[in-house]
Amino acid sequence: MTVAVWAGVVALGGVGAVLRFLVDRAVARRLTGAFPSGILVVNVSGALLLGLLSGLSVGPTTALLGGVAFVGSYTTFSTWMLQTLELGADRRTVLAVANILVSLALGLAAAAVGWWIGAQL
């Protein structure tokens, strides 16, 4: 791996993390309530992007930079699980289960749609 690729991983990873923060906060401000809608939007849009990259059959360097560096830092499994755990601890079991089921269903659908779009291009 070249220094340029390493620099790309650092830069795109940083951009992805900052974008996750901005999207999460923007959505959470508009959709108030106990349901963690900001992270749902982040993770579903990230699944769409990763599906698109897969459908495009990009090369290994582009997959590393776009998929691992950018999308990997943009999406967040740990925050999703922590928010689910917090909902359960607050005895909001229906919301906790909904967070898991809705995230999985929409994430899988978004990845499939992204892959399909990428394969058509």
**Tokens encoding 111:** 């990845």
Residue appearing with tokens 């089921």: 101
- Give the residue numbers of the binding site: 72, 75
Q: Is the pLDDT of residue 119 over 90?
A: yes
Distance linking the first and last C-alpha atoms of the chain: 28
pLDDT in tens, 27-52: 999 999 999 999 999 999 999 999 99
Q: Is the pLDDT of residue 69 over 90?
A: yes
Look at the chain and report how many structural domains it folds into: 1
Could you tell me the residue range of the domain that residue 35 belongs to?
A: 3-120
- Give the residue numbers of the binding site for Na(+): 72, 75
